[in-house]
Amino acid sequence: AMGAKVLAEASQPRFGVGDLVRVRLDLLASRWRKPHLQTPGNIFGAVGVVAKSHGPVGDPEFLAFRGDADAAQPLYSICFKQGTLWTEYDGPDSTEVNVDIFESWLEPTEDGALGDSIPPSSVQTSRKRKATEKSSAPKMRTLKQIATTFAQELHDQGHGHGHGHKHGHAHEGTDLSHLPRSDIEQHAVSSEGMEAPGLRISEAVISMLTKKETITLEGLRRSIEAIDAVGTEALGPRLVARAWTDAEFRQRLLQNAGAAAAELGITATNATSEVALRVVESTDRVHNLVVCTLCSCYPVSILGLSPPWYKSREYRARAIREPRALLQESFGLELPADVEVAVHDSSTDLRYIVLPRRPVGTEGWSEERLRSLVTRDTMIGVAVPALPNEP
């Protein structure tokens, strides 16, 4: 009942901005599409509000199997309260998470309110246990686990089992859907690839130097970003600087980022084709952060190569689970308590970039000069633009 014909007939959006919707649970009828599900498991059963309608978009859940051009359906950005998704979250109530969800995963709700949820039984089990027991981080992998993973990788390479566009799903034949979330998280850690030589030593050195205030996390972030930027074309800063100096262009960029970018000869693409681009604006009340929880979806043509930390399981998990703590502990960015953090989850066909706030004191600056303040990290949301003499 979920074929391309049905999707084509349902191309007219069923929901409007402001509608209260509930995400469907993981039904047996949808499991044949794994591991190509575009809806994260942690939002199954959660209630949210439609923040934006993107119109009909090709549904990867069907295109991955049939390649049918008619397999398109309305795509929405749904806003959830952070506490709805993670019961152990203890940050500000105003923190929200925005997730792009196809219409077939949504149903109208009138008896719920924003913040309600009906989680699957496996998530309920995990949450009940966390309510009575002190949560703990997954255990570090043993040498035996590392060796086993390495052997499996060699096996996969020798038999052509590469997945190409990795979505971080379990190896073929491994169904973890019945396990509590804590066990799934431990499985993800155990399945990580081999650690880079000296990784733990370098992490310990960084921790010691930051505690002694010899270096700062913000200074380290800037140095890494500067190295990564060598040889890349600064297309993103052109968009941001133009939006800072041209109010009409800014409005067009926020309403239709793809069309506005085309005015400057900029196209959002991945390795094989164009992708939809959306720009979200940070203000004095809202700070935006971009992540891809499924894999590493990222506007390469605009921001350059994605940094290794963007692809890491730690960033992908903590950006959704505890974004404020992640920004402070990993990037040295401490936001005021009254500033809301809005997290945007990119997908295969839709990529986000942040339009950061223009720094105070840049009035009268030329567009070219403003570009120097805009970096990759400020357009992901792990940093904010600052004047050269500011920390």
Cα torsion for 128, 38, 80, 132, to the nearest 10°?
10
Beta bridge partners of 52: 77
Helix axes 235-245, 247-255, angle to 10 degrees: 120
Burial call 281-297: b when 16+ CB within 10 Å, e when fewer: ebeeeebbbbbbbbbbb
Is-catalytic flag, 79? Answer: no
Cα 132–137–143 angle (5° rounding)?
Answer: 135
Q: Which residues, 6 or more positions from 199, have their beta carbon under 8 angstroms from its beta carbon? A: none
Is-catalytic flag, 292? Answer: yes
Q: Which residues, 6 or more positions from 39, have their beta carbon under 8 angstroms from its beta carbon? A: 23, 99, 101, 102, 105
Residues in the chain: 391
Fill in the amino acid letter for 97. V
Catalytic residue among 77, 122, 297, 347: 297
> Which pairs count as long-range contacts for 329-334, CB under 8 Å and 24+ apart, including other chains?
329/217, 330/217, 330/382, 331/217, 331/218, 331/221, 331/377, 331/382, 331/383, 332/216, 332/217, 332/218, 332/219, 332/220, 332/221, 333/218, 333/382, 333/383, 333/384
How far is residue 114 CA from its own chain's centroid? 21
Q: What letter does residue 96 receive in the DSSP assignment?
A: E
Closest CA to 7 of 72, 62, 65, 102: 72
Catalytic residue among 104, 122, 282, 292: 292
Catalytic residue among 77, 104, 282, 296: 296
Q: What letter does residue 220 receive in the DSSP assignment?
A: H
**Structure token digits, residue 109:** 């709700």
Catalytic residue among 94, 182, 295, 306: 295
SS3 of residue 20 by DSSP: strand
Q: Which positions are catalytic?
A: 292, 295-297
